DNA sequence: CGGCATCCGGGAAGATACTG
DNA sequence: CAGTATCTTCCCGGATGCCG
């Protein structure tokens, strides 16, 4: 058997690409692999470390995360950076072009909330919750609403500013916020998307609201979910 | 060995889902499998038969296409319909909710054209070319432009109407078009996106333009590609 | 011919354990 | 903490064959 199978070791003549000039197909070549888009989602609010990403992506294996980060770095969507000496840790950060993928994440997220199978009680990362505020805010309900809302989730804090210009979200200290939600992302999602009364969550100890309680109630009503899709041809 | 491996037949305790309440993750559960979104793209301009889809998706296997169509049907994005007796063929059609996925396809397509690796000379289906007109039309350049452009690609014809309300595309007879492009989708893409002069394509026999030639030239200039992304952090 | 069932090979994803 | 090594599972793609 001198004739070994040469083809299999052919290092991927076309590493499973769609050979298609269509932009959508090319996008799938770039970010269509499993987990890729969710890794990018986790970086949308700023750089993160390997283990932070991993912790916020329940179910991804270290192995797969390594591969995705390598791939995204190779295509120019992510850069690996080393923090200055005091905390010389390595972080991953989106490039300019990487950040420009946010509309993809938003469009997909908005569309999927119409799914009858969507279950908003599942685990949720702090980043996805914050991103959802950018995506799901209803302009009509936000008209005339102007507030600074703080969120304290685990070790992180986020500041959400709502104004006539829309929703602005950043990972930042919550100083100056008129009201602060403190608790797990899932609990906050329950109040905003699940229709669970804030008071009830507080009784359960799942959520703590500090500051203007009325403002908190009004905030939770700004993000209506669209009607579920039926099987209409 | 009475102990057979029971786990493999375990009908997917969690058939590789992201257990994540985030809408984006759920969207990936619905349409994140390989080929799924491209199958939907091919149906965006109306119902198609199995073999039409297959022919327009170079590289998909019959097996995989069957699986994707079954999956999309199960989730309520596609319905299978039988045409009335004269041509009693089976076709696949998007549901209302399926059609609502078009912004996802557009957003991804627009984003990916910034990729340095994007190669617009690859094969392209007629549907993706038509969809790209909806996506890539530049409002500034279309201002005051009003025309009906016909396309004859293989067996199919498409009618594109450009007006102050934007770009409208449908699979329809080309009667009433002021100008008609006849040729392969790749050739037309060369004229519109590749900057190849129409006259040159005609000399090669790759394209035929019938009607208002000046209008044809103006049309090809309506769809500018965005600048390529650099690796800017 | 259109669509589906089945088998097979390769490779991606997942789980676990281990190392600098 | 930040990954690597290894093994298993299972998805994808190709080929073939059945059946309407």
State the SS3 of chain A. Answer: CCCCCCHHHCCCCCCCCCCCCCHHHHHHHHHCCCCHHHHHHHHCCCCECHHHHHHHCCCCCHHHHHHHHHHHHHCCCEEEEECCHHHCCEEEEECHHHHCCHHHHHHHHHHHCCCCCCCCCCCCCHHHHHHHHHHHCCHHHHCCCCEEEEEEECCEEEEEEEECCEEEEEECCCCCCCEEEEECHHHHHHHHCCCCCHHHHHHCCCEEEEECHHHHHHHHCCCCCCCCCCCCC
Q: Each residue of A94-107: pLDDT tens digit? A: 999 999 999 999 99
Comparing alpha-carbon positions, the chain B residue that sits nearest to A106 is B24
For B107, the closest chain A residue by CA position comes to A104
**pLDDT value, residue B86:** 59
Q: What angle do CA A188, A189, A194 make, to 5 degrees?
A: 120
> Are A27 and B108 in contact (CB < 8 Å)?
yes
Q: Which of A19, A21, A109 is the best mutation test for B, with the most CBs of B within 10 A?
A: A21
Across residues B215-225, what is the average pLDDT? 96
Mean pLDDT of chain A: 90
Query: A121-220 belongs to which homologous superfamily?
Result: SCP2 sterol-binding domain (3.30.1050.10)
D8: residue with closest CA to C1': B8
Domain boundaries, chain B: 23-105, 121-220
> Which of A144-158, B85-99, B153-167 has the least mean pLDDT?
B85-99
Q: Where are the alpha helices (DSSP H) in B75-184?
A: 96-99, 102-112, 126-136, 139-142
Strand C at less than 7 A from CB of A31: no
Chain centroid to CA A177: 22
Chain A residues inside the 8 Å CB shell of B79: 231, 233
Average pLDDT over residues B165-191: 96
Strand, coil or helix: what is B44?
coil
pLDDT bin (cut points 50, 70, 90) of residue B178 is very high
pLDDT at A2: 28
pLDDT digits (tens, 9 = 90+) for B203-215: 999 999 999 999 9
| Cβ A97 vs Cβ A76: under 8 Å | yes
Give the CATH class of B23-105.
Answer: mainly alpha
Q: Is the CB of A25 under 7 A from strand D?
A: no
Q: Express each pLDDT in A189-208 by its tens digit.
A: 999 999 999 999 999 999 99
C-alpha distances in angstroms, B6 versus B107, B121, B133? 43, 49, 52
Does residue B117 have a pLDDT over 50?
Answer: yes
Q: What is the mean pLDDT of chain B?
A: 89
Identify the pLDDT of residue B85: 60
Between A200 and B15, the more confident residue is A200
Banded model confidence at residue A85, pLDDT cuts 50, 70, 90? low
What integer pLDDT is reported at residue A59 of this predicted model? 86
Question: Positive or negative, the Cα torsion across B66, B70, B71, B72?
Answer: positive
Determine the Cα–Cα distance for residues B113 and B96; give it in Å rounded to an integer: 28
3-class SS of residue B216: helix
| The predicted structure's pLDDT at residue B11 | 32
Closest CA to B153 of B121, B120, B187: B187
Contacts of A123 in chain B (CB under 8 A): 19-21
């Amino acid at each position: 058997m001198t004739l070994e199978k040469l083809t299999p070791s052919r290092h991927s003549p076309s590493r499973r690409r769609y050979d298609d000039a269509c932009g959508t197909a090319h996008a799938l070549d770039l970010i269509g692999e499993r987990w890729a888009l969710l890794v990018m989602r986790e970086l949308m609010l700023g750089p993160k470390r390997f283990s932070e990403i991993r912790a916020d992506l329940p179910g991804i294996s270290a192995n797969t995360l390594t591969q995705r980060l390598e791939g995204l770095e190779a295509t120019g969507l992510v850069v690996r950076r080393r923090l200055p000496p005091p905390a010389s840790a390595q972080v991953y950060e989106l490039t300019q072009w990487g950040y420009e993928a946010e509309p993809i994440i938003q469009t997909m997220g908005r569309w999927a909330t119409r799914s009858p199978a969507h279950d908003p009680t599942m685990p949720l990362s702090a980043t996805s919750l914050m991103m959802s505020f950018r995506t799901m805010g209803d302009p009509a309900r936000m008209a005339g609403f102007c507030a600074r809302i703080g969120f304290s989730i685990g070790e992180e804090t986020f500041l959400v500013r709502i104004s006539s210009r829309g929703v602005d979200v950043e990972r930042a200290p919550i100083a100056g916020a008129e009201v602060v939600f403190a608790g797990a992302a899932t609990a906050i999602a329950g109040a905003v998307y699940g229709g669970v009364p804030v008071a009830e969550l507080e009784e359960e100890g799942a959520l703590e609201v500090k500051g203007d309680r009325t403002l908190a109630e009004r905030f939770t009503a700004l993000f209506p979910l669209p009607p579920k899709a039926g099987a209409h041809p």
